[in-house]
Amino acid sequence: MRLLIFFLLGITLPLCAQTDYAATAESADALADEVITWRRHVHQYPELSNRETETAKYIAAHLEQLGLEVRTGVAHTGVVGILRGGQPGGVVALRADIDALPVTERADLPYASKATGEYRGEEVGVMHACGHDTHVAMLMGAAEVLSAQQASIPGTIVFLFQPAEEGAPEGEEGGAKLMVEEGVLKDYGVEAAFGIHINSQTPVGHVNYKPGGAMAASNSFRIEVKGKQAHGSTPWAGVDPITAAAQIVVGLQMIVARQTELTKEPAVISVGKIEGGVRSNIIPEEVTLIGTIRTLDEEMKEEIFERIRQTATSIAESSGASAEVSIDEGYPVTYNDPAMTARMLPTVQATVGEEHVHLVRPITGAEDFSFYAKEVPSLFLFLGGMDPEMDPAEAPGHHTPDFVIDERSLTYGVQLYTNLALDYLNGQNGK
């Protein structure tokens, strides 16, 4: 198989030439069965965030077999592969996330996950319910295709196999943020980064993109509302934090509905948990609200943070209670550099066909690829993974037990990773 790829690329890609998309497609097709095998292995043996030890070994063994420089133990369990081309040039990073989710698989597949793990002190099923297994396999495939033409590559390609995209366990650091802090971009002089995410509700062969803010910043908030405990029969003898918390929930929604310029970018504030009290006839001393904030503009994000603090404290004070607001650092906006997006769009169109490339609205979901995009010009794409015969409305969503991917999508992912790297390094589509 590898000899065939070497042969194909050896006769079609002269030194520092323009990318031959047909040759890339032919090489990806020749590797298709192996890529599917890799994906099924990773799918069958998933591991939770910061616990991807066997997955990391599997990836590292493949990269070492290809002759790449390999760095392991990055951000706990991450793997970095470095392919130094035979010609001088720039440095580009390609990223795939490798962690799974605490979800019990329900799909009837011969390679379905039976794995379990520990999440927040409980034993849970573990499943690749967001397609990270496909990302791993596609990037492993691209590494093989690209390593076959190492001598003609003008520059360096850094393969980032990143753990903990879904969030590090409580009390731990991890993910892209820690990868960046440990130097995966600076150590190799990375100039640009590309990432791909499979989508279970977009047909195979299609790609969605969005310049600028493509995915939301995600921040969790916690509001501690403190009152004065009293008997439920005499509420006037205390200060009720439950009624104050209820008013705060409504007030938070008014921030989005009446105080945020939604024609600029969308925003979401959601309370996901309210906790307080022990029994029906006791007004408690304290109530806790926990929720999430999703924004797509940095200035809007800071303004919403301030309005949350002001709204919560003012409403609490109006009833004699007090409120303490804390907001975590979270994930930044996943920002597709407009110039980089415009430069690489012809590559995407040449790979899957212009009619299969779609400009879409931003997504209020979040992605920690955003930490790379904060450091270097980046492009993050959404690759179709749904059977084209399916109705998108009926296709199982991400993070669900029935999540499924059509494996015909994998060869497109291999091609995209490969062509994006080559076109960037070749200076194709402009500087």
The residues annotated as belonging to the active site are 331, 407
Nearest CA to 177 out of 47, 50, 306, 71 is that of: 50
Backbone angles phi, psi at 231, to 5 degrees: -70, 140
| Tokens (6 digits) for 167 | 């969030």
Query: Which residue type does 341 have?
Result: T
Sign of the alpha-carbon torsion through 331, 342, 201, 110: negative
Q: What's the DSSP call for residue 124?
A: E
Question: How far, in Å, CA of 301 to CA of 293, rounded?
Answer: 8
Question: How far, in Å, CA of 143 to CA of 397, rounded?
Answer: 29
| Side-chain-facing half-sphere of 344: CA atoms under 13 Å | 30
| Tokens (6 digits) for 140 | 């492993």
Question: How far, in Å, CA of 92 to CA of 153, rounded?
Answer: 12
Nearest CA to 105 out of 130, 136, 128 is that of: 128
Sign of the alpha-carbon torsion through 310, 311, 317, 321: negative
